Structure 1
Amino acid sequence: MIQSYIVWEIVVIWLLACGTTDNDLPKEAVESSVIDSQDSGLIETELMFSFVVLADPHIILSSDHVARLQTAVAWINQNVAERGIELVLVVGDVGWGDGLVVSEEELSKLDVPYAPIIGDNEVSYGSEQSFETAFSSAWSRLQSSFEDWNDGIGTVWNTQIEKESTFYNFAFTHKDVRFVCLDWASREEGPILSEIGYLHDFNGGSFNWFVDELRTLETQESNGVVLASHIPMILAPGGFAVDEVDQLSTVTQSYSDLIFANFSGHFHADAEIEMESLGFDVFITDATWDDDVTLRVVDVYRQGNAFLFEQELVLIPYVSQE
């Protein structure tokens, strides 16, 4: 565990040096699209809905982490009507061990559907297979609530580690926006290799599923695709290696007009990183489990045949009960 904290100290230093961190910045600093057509009157801009990004609850049985997640769930439910919230993306490191069941119990109290995405910690602590048992009802709710469900959820032979792995990739459409939720979490062991992203480029792995999914989206409207994952799709410690970013770019560049951004967690900090090589920006959201509770609220607007997005980092003060 000490080694893992050292890794994250290195990552935060990297973020400060190479990325744009959003901690303590006003709302205007994290707006990702400027909606100026309202003033010009040329094309009407319509607010369609909002979604929330909730990162890294880290639920491990009854702990202060549970109370923080409860704080996040309560804020979302209290603001569903006023903010037009219709979806929550839970971007990994949700819970593990007995905490996996607890995390599902708390997230099921949300008044809107949520998308649970697996993180590296679920794998590292032995909850890879039980992730499906815990969250199958959440995926069923997504499938019944939204349109065009597609998934690559299942167990396959992982040729990179020579054993079976269970992957959790899925996608759905809400009001013409395509949400693609990706499993880039490592299946390797050790404090370093278990923390970085892998494409899982083999039969039944995440990369092939992602490529096939993108090929179905050629008629999607501009900025109409949102990618969500635990591991940020960036070139960095804790992200992806150079060769895998290069491999991703050969695919995503062809869809750069369609893909708005990748929303992720993992780094326990707020950041915005421009990935020019991939053709989109990456927005990283701070962990729920420590310090004050941070949620990223994303408003989705339609403007003609394109989508625009406006973001706000909501900081909910939290006083530890431990």
Structure 2
Amino acid sequence: MKNVKAASKSGQEPLVRVQTAKKERVFDVEDPKLPDWIEDGALPSGGFPYNKKLNRETYEATLEALQIELVKMQAWMQTSGHRVLALFEGRDAAGKGGTINATRDYLNPRTARNVALPKPTETERGQWYFQRYVTHFPTSGEFVTFDRSWYNRAGVEPVMGFCTPEQHASFLMEAEHFERRIVNDGIHFFKFWLDIGQEMQLKRFHDRRHSQLKSWKFSPIDIAGMNKWDDYTKARDEMFEHTHSEHAPWIIIRSNDKRRARIELIRYILLHLPYSGRDDKLIGAADPKIIGEGPQFLGL
């Protein structure tokens, strides 16, 4: 899938013109009926390797077992003082929030925090870029997740014009060194990229727009973002090139199926922390079709 161009109907209702390999299609997010070409193409989009979602019974049983292990992990952290910092990144509607919730559902909120920062204040804009994130880092025994992070400067900011090219270039140069300090300080550091296909993103945007419970998640920036798929892809690839490292690798998860994505992400965390009583047999092995390390996992 190539360029996506925004159009309008009567100057107000947002349309998207999607250029596929065969023809240009029009998507009206305001229309309550989801087009068949999106409904049918969502799950396999972006090279997703399965033609069906993981069935609910398997998902719920597996998730519960992994969440029990997470509770054991947190008890070990509180006793040992180990610190965990996990970044959740991905395109809009990739499933970051739901995956964070599944990870934190049964953890003690006193020592398991999620950080989702608003746009920087005037004071924060005048500080060192990483400063406002550092203040939220974990202390002894804490598990901290970031729903988006300093990688805003590698994605939404340059794509939407919220930073200068010089600020973007400076970030790409500094991020690896900044993260080396995190790891050298003894923090267990995870960087997750939840990857989705374009049709799946359009489907999830449509679901949000027409849900009374989730419509607050759909914003004008989502409409603008639908027109910038290729720009976001270019920014993502450049980010991987400069910030994937041995000490702080990008862990990429194919997330068209939220159930598989949540299981694989939690499983990865559990398998990479040396907590007491870890049950490797119960945790299980990673699905190499869903999760992998670095841009090569996406064929880049």
Bin for the TM-score computed over the shorter chain: 0.3 to 0.5
Question: Which protein has the larger Cα radius of gyration, Structure 1 or Structure 2?
Answer: 2
> Hey, which of these two has a bigger chunk of helix by percent?
2
Which structure has more strand as a fraction of its residues?
Answer: 1
TM-score normalised by length of structure 1? 0.34
Structure with higher RCO (Cα < 8 A, 6+ apart): 2
